[in-house]
Structure 1
Amino acid sequence: MAIKRAFAVLALASSFFVSSVLAEEQEKCGQASYYPSEYACYDDKTLCPIQFSLPTKPCGGGCYSPEQYSCQDGTITDLAEATSPFSLTFSGVRKTFRNLNVKACGRYLAVGANARECHACTAAGGTNCGSYQNSTVLLPDGKMASDVPGHQFWYINPTDGILRYTEALAGNSSVWNATIPGKEFAAQNVKVYENGLFAWTREDATTHWWMACLVTLPGGAVGTGRSWRIYAPTYQNMERGDCELGRLVSKVVDRKAGAYKYP
């Protein structure tokens, strides 16, 4: 059953490629013909596939994803794991889902033309609220880049796979273990590469794509505001029909690009 579901999602992704291919002309790379939406041509001789709008590159006779690997003298090696604060972008198959900034609001992480980015600050205690850029910034250790006492944490909700963050917790990080069920689920299943993939891993396989699923806002029709929340592709989520597939890519930023608090 799991295999069937996996194939169903891959078929869904393939259908997006097929529809785009039918609307474009082939180009030449040396003697080979290719669709620009599916491949990138290097030196007029080497074709490498494009995955979720992100082109792979040639190295040592093969192709690699620069969001996960580096190429040194023809040898492909893993990128370093992230140690710096980072922002996230979502890159999907469709053009409208390329390089969308991930935003935090209401304890959800979302993308879309009207996805909200919420922040709050109080000057009590001498806090300089003007020193924050109030964009969505995450830390590799599971925290949000917020300075509110008690910290805030990003995590994958173990019940539905949605990417969320906590309210400020009353205490230090040890409170996180007791307050948020599935902390281990989040910590063990996400790997962040420095200026690379924000990757999710399932127990039976490794997958680096995510799902942006349409939000129904209160009092509005499905898709009102065009906001899409981020989900891990669990087996249950893969059966949904209101989602776009894509990858999350991290970009190193200054910690002060974050906020005092994400409400």
Structure 2
Amino acid sequence: MTKFTLIGAALLALGNSAVNALNSCGESQYDPAQYVCWSDQFLCPITAGEPLSFCNGACYSKFMYKCENNVLSLLPAHTGTPFTLTVSNPTLPIDGKPVTASGLHLSLAGNTSTYCPVEVVGAACPPGNITAFFAGNGGLSMDTMVPGGQQAYLGPDWNMHYTQAHSAYIPAGSLTQGFGAYEGGGFVNLNGNGWGWVACPPQASGGGGSAWNLVGRNETNAASLTACTPVNLKINPLPSGTVGAWQYA
């Protein structure tokens, strides 16, 4: 057998292997790494590590929707009580890790930085060991005691930031609304035509340090985020009255 035919045979074997790796869904063939089959006839994509569910002809994310009696509807809004956020994408090493606040910037699987004036607040200082939030009216705020609070926002760099304590300054071009917080679901970025969130490895998009960076993806920055991976952010409710920190530093 010539070298050419050996190579051809190897390529043919690889091709057959690829075909054999496909699964059947009704009359369709699909890659189980990219799609999930429902009722042996409906294909839904896997997005941000989540196999989308199926409801009466539509594929949907359980981070935002529910299906009851074959009727698809939005999950109820999560309002009134604080929550933490964790990363959801089983393909990443930071799956299940928290969203953390430090340096007026929200990161993934980083450290939480807080401050409390003990000489003023005394024993009322919160532990300050979690990053907690409140949601409402399409916006997000930090769960703090400091007068005036701290507002979270999507900056002109499409990174998530929060305001300095005792200051309402937010850079021009930032977005303070366009987010959805869903009971039993996730915290969804609806800005940029709904491209959602991506997690960028350390240094991949300017986040710095050992933490991963949280970025809102949109049609203008998507091409620069090839090293980043789509993720969902899962809402984890906290008991009413929980305070995350006096202020996030």
Question: TM-score higher than 0.5 here?
Answer: yes
Q: Distance in 2 between matches of 1:64 and 1:194?
A: 16
Partner of 1:227: 211
Name 2:83's counterpart in structure 1. 86
Q: CA deviation at 1:67?
A: 0.9
Contact 1:53 1:98 in 2 (8 A): no
Q: Does the 8 A contact of 1:211 with 1:243 survive in 2?
A: yes
Counterpart Cα distance in 2 of 1:109 and 1:75: 36
Aligned to 1:140: 135
Instruction: Give the equivalent residue in structure 2 for 1:60.
Output: 56
Contact map agreement 2:125 2:246 (CA 8 A) in 1: no
Partner of 1:185: 175
Change (3 A) 1:54 1:146: same
Query: Structure 1 126/106 Cα, relative in aligned 2: closer, same or farther at 3 Å?
Result: closer
Aligned position for 1:4? none
Q: What is the CA–CA distance in structure 2 between the aligned matches of 1:90 and 1:196, rounded to whole Å?
A: 12
Give the Cα separation in 2 of the matches to 1:139 and 1:54: 25
Instruction: Pick the aligned partner of 2:114 from 75, 99, 119.
Output: 119
- Rate the CA distance shift 1:132–1:80 in 2: closer, same or farther, 3 A: same
Superimposed CA distance per residue, residues 11-34 of structure 1 (whole angstroms, 9 cap, x where no aligned partner): xxxxxxxxxxx7x95556678765
Letter aligned with residue 85 of structure 1 = P
Q: CA separation in 2, counterparts of 1:249 and 1:106?
A: 23
Give the corresponding residue for 2:71. 75
Alignment match of 1:200 (pick from 175, 180, 189): 189
1:108–1:229 Cα contact (<8 Å) kept: no
Deviations 1:206-245 (A, max 9, x none): 33x212234449xxxx998542221211444323244333
Q: Note the residue ranges of structure 1 that are not aligned, 5 or more in a row.
A: 1-21, 171-175
The alpha-carbon distance between structure 1 residues 117 and 70, as it changes in their structure 2 partners (threshold 3 A), is: same
Equivalent residue for 2:246? 260
Shift of 1:144: 0.3
Pairwise CA distance, 1:190: 1.9
Q: Could you say which residue in structure 1 is the equivalent of 2:4?
A: none
For the 8 Å contact 1:117–1:136, the answer to whether it is kept is: yes
Residue of structure 2 equivalent to 1:238: 222
Q: Partner of 2:231: helix, strand, or coil?
A: strand
TM-score by length of 1: 0.70
Q: Alpha carbons of 1:133 and 1:33: their partners in 2 closer, same or farther (altered >3 Å)?
A: farther
Give the AA of the match of 2:194: T
* Residues 125 and 245, structure 2, Cα contact 8 Å, conserved in 1: no
Cα distance change of structure 1 residues 191 and 54 upon mapping to structure 2, 3 Å threshold:
same
Equivalent residues, number: 224
Gaps of 5+ in 2: 1-17
RMSD: 3.3
- Where does residue 162 of structure 1 map in the other structure? 159
Rounded to whole Å, the distance in 1 between the matches of 2:56 and 2:220 is: 38
Q: Which of the pair has more CA radius of gyration?
A: 2
TM-aligned CA distance change 1:152 to 1:50, over 3 Å: same
Aligned match of 1:210? 197
- Between 1:226-235 and 1:122-131, the stretch displaced more is 122-131
Change (3 A) 1:257 1:74: same
Deviation at 1:74? 0.5
SS of the aligned residue for 1:124 comes to: helix
**TM-score, structure 2 normalization:** 0.73
Pair 1:223–1:256, CA change in 2 (3 A)? closer
